[in-house]
Structure 1
Amino acid sequence: MTVSTSARPRADVAAGHRLGLGQGTALLTGAVLGPGILALPHAAASAAGPAALAAWALLLALSVPVAFTFAALGARFPDGGGVAAFAARAFGPRTSAAVGWLFLAVVPVGTLAGAMIGGGYVANAAGWGRPGAAVMTAALLAAAFTANHGGLRMSGRVQLVLVAGLAVLLAVAVLASAPHADAAHFTPFAPYGIGGVVHAVGVLFFAFAGWEAASHLSADFADPRRLLPRATGLALALVGTLYLALAAAVTGVLGERAETSAVPLALLMETGLGDLARAATAVAAMVLSFVAMNTYIAGGSRLGAALGRDGALPAWFGRGGPVPHRGLLLLEALAVPLAVAVVATGFGLDPLLRATAACLASVTVVGMASATRLLTGRARAAARLTTALTAAAALSCGPYLVIPAAVAAVAALRGRLTSSKVEDLR
């Protein structure tokens, strides 16, 4: 296996669409502000009660150094391989292959989870039941893959419009429901103690993952060194404001209903928007699902091309033009049978969310550890602290960490077998 030591993907995208500040911010925002916000407020409230607000705030605070560390890496080493490319420079090809395979494997799982959340919300709002949810899940997957086959010019512009509309819709829902908030709903603040907050952190990690996905788009920015940090800052401000506002509104307005209802956002909109709630909830669900899926698929397809270029996948995947159609085909080949199996068996959503969170947490830890070797000065010191914090947060994923460990083991075994064949040929 060879490792790229230059930003060759920059040449690949030169003839294609290049991201400016607006579209870049929208794609980064979509990587983090996804469909998890539809289901996770309930899961976090069930784990920690009103103290779930502390878990939201803690993870948001952790997101700041994580996001800017990824921005610093992407600005300095713009590459479609994302964390895998950073790991190759910092730790060598085997670590790069392991983390690349890990992210590539989890993209179909995470995008399916997002499509299921959005499809479930739409079907619930329309009264379509389980068959309708399955149809909407398939439709969201098809839309996200189609947009990416059209390239970043199409998917980036669609993302910009959708994120702007989504921010307005969520802000209206929060403001309209605010008069119904009750201070009594915040007491007792921590009915399940510190353990409940720790559990909520593990549940909510899915909601704050995404910066590692956006790192695969660094080479697509027109000027990564200048635009990527700016887009990251704008995305952080937007995501942080919406997350904390929604979390506070769900607790203050719904009280104990936030712990018992699986659709707290729908209840919040019903309280604030009345008869418009069903339509608003369906729209929010579809947009939240699409924007996250769009970014993850874009990142995963570029990673597939980079892994083909660097030898961690067959070289066929590394060939092609500005749009990584072959990487997209690989993701589709993984996502379609997984979706069929999950929908047909009625497999629960929670395991998909937790498996995704564990894998993305592991990728984030490797990315932060890579920064401790690749960055200098204060950025390196911040990366060391962030590595320790993200590793501690990853432990909250518990037994689901077996999944990234298993994927890494398979990647390592493939690397050894490939090395052995090369030696035999010599």
Structure 2
Amino acid sequence: MPQGTPGLRKAVTMRYAVALYMSSVLGSGVLVLPGLAAQIAGPASLIAWLLLSLASYPLAYTFASLSARKPESGGVYSFARESFGQRWADAVGWLFIVWYVTGAPVVTVIAASYLSYAIPLSKEMIYVVAALIILGTFLINYRGIVISGKVQLAVIVAIVGLLLTAVIASAPLVRLENFTPFFPNGVLPIGTAAALIFWSYLGYENVSNVAEEFKNPERDFHRSIVFSVIVISALYFSVAFATVGTQAYKAGGSVAPFAAILSNALGVYGAVSTGVLAVFIIFGTVNAYTTGMSRVIYSVAKEGGLPRAIARINSTTGVPHLSLALLTGLGMITLAVSYFLSIDLQTALLIPSGAAILVYMIGSASGIKLLKGGRAKLFPWISLAVSVIMLPFVGPVLLISVAVALLGLYYRRLRGLRQ
């Protein structure tokens, strides 16, 4: 980097990393998927949650090991460049754009829809609230990574506290008979439920995008990932257990089981707290992704995979403000398209899932090539296998991500840029 050019600040500690991990992963999955998975597989959906919890550790460990090995802003983008060359790195960067600009709008709409349990909202107002969440995360991230990290800490404390309150409050309503028959639809639906639940575990790669800003990456990455995986898995399973045990997924709670759980346990206060909880969770998720994804776009643009002007860093705040603006603008456009086309929830979730799984496949393949010895060599293979198994369940919308990845692969050739 030339002298006088502002660089990314070394401001991320383990506390901030844990906050980013947890708020990246603890998102819309808690709000939607326990009920949808239970409808597909019944009580056996708990097996799917357990299997995905176990699989999440190799995924998280792979990205943490790659990041600790060579801290650099860009995460999987940087790993792909080192492993397979610049063109594949560009493809990853473009996939991240798809992931964010289609994922952020759908989860903010989910948050606003939950808020309507507490405050009646029209469709138009739901989308206004969703837009305000996206704009709010832009403003916070524009202030800088330290301020953003403090927001993450506050949000995650509120999330965990409210989740625990809901699980404990619903405990008296859990009935053993609600777990039988355990396989109401047979064994195979467990696989379908697991493919759907995979969305809930996306996000472990996000902190690797800010690796360049860690004060002590070798120590803090692995400590933060172990702590985060244990806590996230326990929270997910607890909420899924409460959903099945109270049969919230049958009482109009297939899409909003958390609302049903809190309403059953706490009455009208449950509905209000559900709306507030959803906004907190989604705000934390989008804020964390805005932080991570903006660094990816910064890295892609810096290397010429996008117009280099996007790689500018604000000299006052130390953040890549133009990449933040690009993501926010594209996210708002996607939100508008979603409103006018009335895209259904399942399709809306599958589009970013397809991009994310492709990114996970490339990241896992990078781990196979770059990491040496023991768990560091085994876990990337497990991660790759999990990603490949989930890919066919995405369906036709996967073609969107494939098309964008191909554009990323050939962008330089189209622009006449040197590799």
TM-score, scaled relative to structure 2 = 0.94
1:341 maps to 2:341: no
1:388 corresponds to which residue?
385
Q: 1:139 aligns with which of 109, 132, 137?
A: 132
SS at match of 1:194: coil
Aligned-pair identity in percent equals: 32
1:192 corresponds to which residue?
185
1:359 corresponds to which residue?
355
Q: 1:12 aligns with which of 7, 29, 39?
A: 7
1:376 maps to 2:372: yes
Q: CA deviation digits over 1:127-174, x for unaligned, max 9?
A: 223233122111211111111111111111011011011101110110
Q: Partner letter of residue 7 of structure 2?
A: D
1:109 corresponds to which residue?
102
2:146 corresponds to which residue?
153
Q: CA deviation digits over 1:222-266, x for unaligned, max 9?
A: 111111111111211221111000000000012651676321101
Q: What are the ranges of 5 or more consecutive residues in structure 1 without an aligned counterpart? A: 1-5
SS at match of 2:117: helix
* Distance in structure 2 (CA, Å) of the matches to 1:258 and 1:234: 34
Q: 1:62 aligns with which of 55, 59, 81?
A: 55
* Distance in structure 1 (CA, Å) of the matches to 2:46 and 2:90: 37
* Distance in structure 2 (CA, Å) of the matches to 1:259 and 1:380: 45
Query: Quick check: 2:91–2:408 contact (8 Å CA) kept in 1?
Result: yes
Shift of the alpha carbon at 1:62? 0.6
Distance 1:73 1:217, change over 3 A: same
Q: 1:73 aligns with which of 66, 69, 72?
A: 66
1:315 maps to 2:308: yes
1:404 corresponds to which residue?
401
Q: Partner letter of residue 196 of structure 2?
A: V
* Distance in structure 1 (CA, Å) of the matches to 2:413 and 2:124: 45
* Distance in structure 1 (CA, Å) of the matches to 2:13 and 2:30: 27
How do 1:14-413 and structure 2 match up within 5 A?
A: 16=9, 18-254=11-247, 257=250, 261-321=254-314, 322-378=318-374, 379-413=376-410
Distance 1:151 1:106, change over 3 A: same
Q: Partner letter of residue 61 of structure 2?
A: F
Query: Quick check: 1:368–1:384 contact (8 Å CA) kept in 2?
Result: yes
Shift of the alpha carbon at 1:295? 1.0
* Distance in structure 2 (CA, Å) of the matches to 1:353 and 1:222: 34
- Greater helix content: 1
- More deviation in 255-264 or 384-393? 255-264
SS at match of 1:66: helix
Shift of the alpha carbon at 1:220? 1.6
Q: How many residues align?
A: 413
* Distance in structure 1 (CA, Å) of the matches to 2:93 and 2:302: 12
* Distance in structure 2 (CA, Å) of the matches to 1:168 and 1:317: 39
Distance 1:278 1:368, change over 3 A: same
Query: Quick check: 2:42–2:182 contact (8 Å CA) kept in 1?
Result: yes
Shift of the alpha carbon at 1:48? 1.2
SS at match of 1:414: helix
Query: Quick check: 1:106–1:356 contact (8 Å CA) kept in 2?
Result: yes
- More deviation in 219-228 or 403-412? 403-412
* Distance in structure 1 (CA, Å) of the matches to 2:149 and 2:77: 23
Q: CA deviation digits over 1:364-391, x for unaligned, max 9?
A: 1110110011110011122223222222
Deviating above 6 A after TM superposition, structure 1's stretches of 4 or more consecutive aligned residues are none
Distance 1:32 1:260, change over 3 A: closer
Q: Partner letter of residue 117 of structure 2?
A: N
Query: Quick check: 1:251–1:258 contact (8 Å CA) kept in 2?
Result: no
- More deviation in 388-397 or 59-68? 388-397
* Distance in structure 1 (CA, Å) of the matches to 2:249 and 2:377: 43
* Distance in structure 2 (CA, Å) of the matches to 1:393 and 1:261: 22
* Distance in structure 2 (CA, Å) of the matches to 1:367 and 1:169: 33
Q: Partner letter of residue 365 of structure 2?
A: A
* Distance in structure 2 (CA, Å) of the matches to 1:260 and 1:191: 18
